[in-house]
Structure 1
Amino acid sequence: MKTFCRTLSLSLALVTGAAAAQQVLPDERFASCMATLRADAPAKGVSTVSFNRLTSGLLPDMTVLEFLDYQPEFRTPIWDYLASLVDEERVADGLAMREKWATTLTAAAERYQVDADTVVAVWGVESNFGRNFGKRPLLTSLGTLSCFGRRQAYFRGEFLSALKILDAGDIAPERLVGSWAGAFGHTQFMPSTFLRLAVDGDGDGRRDLMDSVPDALASTANFLHKAGWRQGEPWGYEVVLPAGFDTSVSGRGDKRPLSQWTVRGVRRADGQPIAASDARAGLLLPAGPRGPAFLVFRNFDVIYGYNAAESYALAIAHLADRLKGGKPFVTPWPTDDAGLSRSERRELQTLLAARGYAIGEIDGMIGANSRQAIQSEQKRLGMAVDGRPGQKLLTTLRAAPTSR
C-alpha cells in the first residue's frame, strides 16, 4: 500500500510538474523567440537599442491564435458578407465622407490616377470610415504570431516592420493598435505595406494612418496605383447568363475577349450593350451559376490585391458603384434566407436582449454573445442551430412575444 501511495504521489507530482511547465512554457518560448528577433532586427533596419526600448515588457497574447484560421471572407456566405458591408447605411455614410473630404480625395485621385469612389469604398469596408480600427496593440499581436502558430516567418517580418514604423516616429507606440493580424489605421495597412506604400497626404512630414485621414486616403490611392489601376476603366459589371450556360469557363483568372462572352450569349444585367472590343474579362460566379454573375476586368484584380478574397473585392467594387449612384444587384442570391444589413442586425440584437439574453452593446456586430443567443432561439423555434443571423429568424422574432 505504501509503495502504491508513493507511486501515486510520484505520478501526481509528475503531472503537476508537467502542468506547471506547460503554464510557463509560452512565456519561456516567447522570450527565446524575442531573442532571435532581436538578433535579426539590425539587418531589417531596427537597432538593438530600439528593439529593446520598444519591446520592453512585451508579453504574448495567446488569444490571437484563436483567429489564425478564421477569415470571414472565406467562411461567411457571400449574401451575409455583402449584406452587412454594402448596406444603405454604409452608402449614405460614404456619400457624406466623399463630400466632407472632397478636396483631399480629388487631389489623391488625380495624383495617383485612380478612382476616388473606390478609395472611399476601401475606407468604408476596412474601418467603417475610421470608426472601427481594432483595439489590439500591434506589437503584442504580431509578437505572439511571430512565435506561435502558423506562418511565423510572415508575421516576424510584419513585427519587425511595425518596430521600424515606431522607430521612425510616424505613429506613437500607444496609438499603434489594430486587428488581431496586425492591420491598422483608417484603411488597415499591414506594417510591411505601410513601409512600401504609405505617403504623407497632409504635408506634416509624417505618414500617420491612424490619425490623419489625408494620409490614409492618399496612401490607399497610392496602393491602387502601384497595383496597376487603369484609370477610366471599370472593375466589371453584373451580367446575365443564358440558360444552359457552360460554367466551366468561369473564373476570375480565365480572362477572355469580350467578344467571346457576347458570342456565348452573356449580356449585361442593366440592359446596356457589352462593348464590342477585345478587352479581356473573366466570369465571376461568387455563389455559383444560380446567383449573380459578373464580368471582371483588370481593376477587379487590383482591388483583390488589397485583401486576397473575391468576396472582399466584390464588396469594395459594389460599394464604389453604389456611391456612383448604382443599384443593388439585379439577380438575387440563391438563398431563401437572405443576410441582414447592420441596422437589421442591431434590431435582431435588440429583440434578443428584450428576451433576456446578455448581448452586450447593441452594435450590429454578431459576436459570441449574439451567436449564443441566436442558437438558443433557433433551438427553441425548431430552426437549424447554426448561430447565423438571417431574415427568417428576424421575421420570426418580430412577430413573436418577448417572453422566453
Structure 2
Amino acid sequence: MRKGMISASIAAALLVSPVMAKPGFEQYVTTLKAEAREAGISDALLERAFKDVEYHERAVSSDRNQPERRLTLDEYIPRAVPDWKVAQAKQLYREHYDTLKAIGEQYQVQPRFIVALWGVESNFGKLQGSYNVIEALSTLAFDGRREAFFRKETMAALTILEQGHIAPEAMKGSWAGAMGQCQFMPSSFINYAVDGNQDGKKDIWQTEADVFASAANYLKKAGWDDTYTWGRQVQIPEGIDRTLLGTNSEKAHSLSEWQTRGVRRMNGQALPAVDINAWLIQPDDGKGRAYLVYNNYQSLLKWNRSHYFALAVSHLADRIKFG
C-alpha cells in the first residue's frame, strides 16, 4: 500500500497544471489593472475580466516551443487545403452568398478570398481556441519575452470588453490571444473589426456577417484591389538570378520583364499580357515551388507574414473559383 502511495505522489509531481500559481504573477496583474484603470477601464470590468485569472503555463510553452520542422509547400498545401475543406468552402460560399456579395461590393474584395481566410484561420469558425484571452495575454506579458507586445494586446482586449462587444467570460481565443473566427489579435480587432449586421456589436466569435466584413475591411485597408487576383504558380529557368527573388518593393517588376527573364506559366505558355507589377518568390529551396505574386498577395502578408499562410489562402480561394 505504501508503494502505491509513493507512486501516486511521484505521478502527481510529474503532472503540470496548465493553469497554476506563479510567484510574482498576481502582483504583475495588479500593475496591468492600474494601467488599464488609467486608460479609462472601469473597476467593475476589471474585476470581471481578471476574475480567477492565473498564470497559464501552456501558453508560455506554446510561445517558446514553436515547431522546428517545416514542411515543404508540396507537403503543406495539400494538408492546408484538402479536398474536404474545398468542398466545405464552396458549400458555405453558396450558403452565405448574398451576405458575401454585399460585403464584397462594399469593400471591393472578392468574396472567395473572404471565405478562404475564414477557412484557413479557423476552419470556418470551428477552431477558435479555448483560452481565456485575458489570462493568456497577461501570462505572456508577465513571461517577458515579448512583454511590450503582449501588454499592449492586453490593454486592447480590455478596451474591447469595456466597449461591450463580448462578455469577459466569452472572450476565448488561441494561446497567443488571437480571437474569433478570423483570429484577430485584440489590436487588429480595434483597428479593423466591423459591425457587419448593424446590431451595435462587433462579434467575430459568433456572427458571420461581422466576421466577413471585418476580414474584408482588413484587406481593403491593407491595399487590396479586386481588379486583380493574388498571383500564380510559375516555371522559372534554371540559373535565374536569385537576387531578383523576394517581396521587397525594389524587387517588383512588370510581367513583361519577368517574361524576358524566362519566367513562364506552369503549362509553359507566356505570361499574361497585363500591365501589372509582380514579385517572384520561392519560399522553399531552389527546387521548390515558384510564384509570381501581385500586390493583393502583399495584403495577405500584412495579415500574416508567413508565405505558407498566404499561399494556403490563395490556393483555397482559387479552388473555390476554379474547382
Query: How does the TM-score come out when normalised to structure 1?
Result: 0.71
Tell me the CA shift for residue 296 of structure 1: 0.7
Which residue of 176, 181, 197 maps to 2:192? Answer: 197
Which residue of 312, 317, 320 maps to 1:320? Answer: 317
CA distance in 2, matches of 1:232, 1:43: 46
Tell me the CA shift for residue 169 of structure 1: 1.6
Please say if residues 73 and 311 of structure 1, whose CA atoms lie closer than 8 Å, have aligned partners that are also in contact: no
Which residue is 2:79 aligned to?
Answer: 84
2:170 aligned with 1:175, yes or no? yes
Which residue is 1:138 aligned to?
Answer: 133
Which residue is 2:295 aligned to?
Answer: 298
CA distance in 1, matches of 2:285, 2:215: 31
Structure 1 range deviating more: 253-262 or 216-225: 253-262
Q: Return the letter of the residue paired with 2:29.
A: M
Which residue is 2:95 aligned to?
Answer: 100
CA distance in 2, matches of 1:264, 1:197: 39
Tell me the CA shift for residue 165 of structure 1: 1.3
Tell me the CA shift for residue 56 of structure 1: 2.6
CA distance in 2, matches of 1:131, 1:255: 38
Tell me the CA shift for residue 27 of structure 1: 2.9
Structure 2 counterparts to residues 4-403 of structure 1, below 5 A? 27-71=22-66, 75-253=70-248, 254-271=251-268, 273-325=270-322
Is there any run of 5+ residues in structure 2 with no aligned partner, and where? 1-19
Closer, same or farther: CA 71–187 of 1 in aligned 2, 3 Å: farther
Closer, same or farther: CA 81–126 of 1 in aligned 2, 3 Å: same
CA distance in 1, matches of 2:70, 2:122: 20
CA distance in 1, matches of 2:168, 2:295: 38
Superposed CA offset, 1:314-341 (max 9, x none) = 1111111111115xxxxxxxxxxxxxxx
Higher relative contact order (CA 8 A, sep 6+): 2
Please say if residues 48 and 168 of structure 2, whose CA atoms lie closer than 8 Å, have aligned partners that are also in contact: no
SS at match of 2:272: coil
SS at match of 2:303: coil
Structure 1 range deviating more: 99-108 or 156-165: 156-165
Please say if residues 73 and 289 of structure 2, whose CA atoms lie closer than 8 Å, have aligned partners that are also in contact: no
Tell me the CA shift for residue 48 of structure 1: 3.8
Q: Return the letter of the residue paired with 2:316.
A: L
Please say if residues 235 and 268 of structure 2, whose CA atoms lie closer than 8 Å, have aligned partners that are also in contact: no
SS at match of 2:278: strand
Superposed CA offset, 1:263-304 (max 9, x none) = 111111145532335522111102222122100111001011
SS at match of 2:55: coil
CA distance in 1, matches of 2:87, 2:78: 15
CA distance in 2, matches of 1:307, 1:186: 15
CA distance in 1, matches of 2:291, 2:40: 44
Tell me the CA shift for residue 47 of structure 1: 3.0
Of structures 1 and 2, the larger Rg is shown by 1
SS at match of 1:283: strand
Q: Return the letter of the residue paired with 1:98.
A: Y
Query: How does the TM-score come out when normalised to structure 2?
Result: 0.88
Tell me the CA shift for residue 148 of structure 1: 0.7
CA distance in 2, matches of 1:246, 1:118: 32
Which residue is 2:12 aligned to?
Answer: none
Which residue is 2:9 aligned to?
Answer: none
**Count of matched residue pairs:** 302
Is there any run of 5+ residues in structure 1 with no aligned partner, and where? 1-24, 327-404
Closer, same or farther: CA 310–70 of 1 in aligned 2, 3 Å: farther
Tell me the CA shift for residue 46 of structure 1: 1.8
CA distance in 2, matches of 1:74, 1:156: 30
Closer, same or farther: CA 122–181 of 1 in aligned 2, 3 Å: same
CA distance in 2, matches of 1:279, 1:73: 37
Please say if residues 94 and 323 of structure 1, whose CA atoms lie closer than 8 Å, have aligned partners that are also in contact: yes
CA distance in 2, matches of 1:270, 1:106: 32
Structure 1 range deviating more: 229-238 or 71-80: 71-80
SS at match of 1:27: coil
Closer, same or farther: CA 323–252 of 1 in aligned 2, 3 Å: same
Please say if residues 73 and 288 of structure 2, whose CA atoms lie closer than 8 Å, have aligned partners that are also in contact: no
Tell me the CA shift for residue 196 of structure 1: 1.2
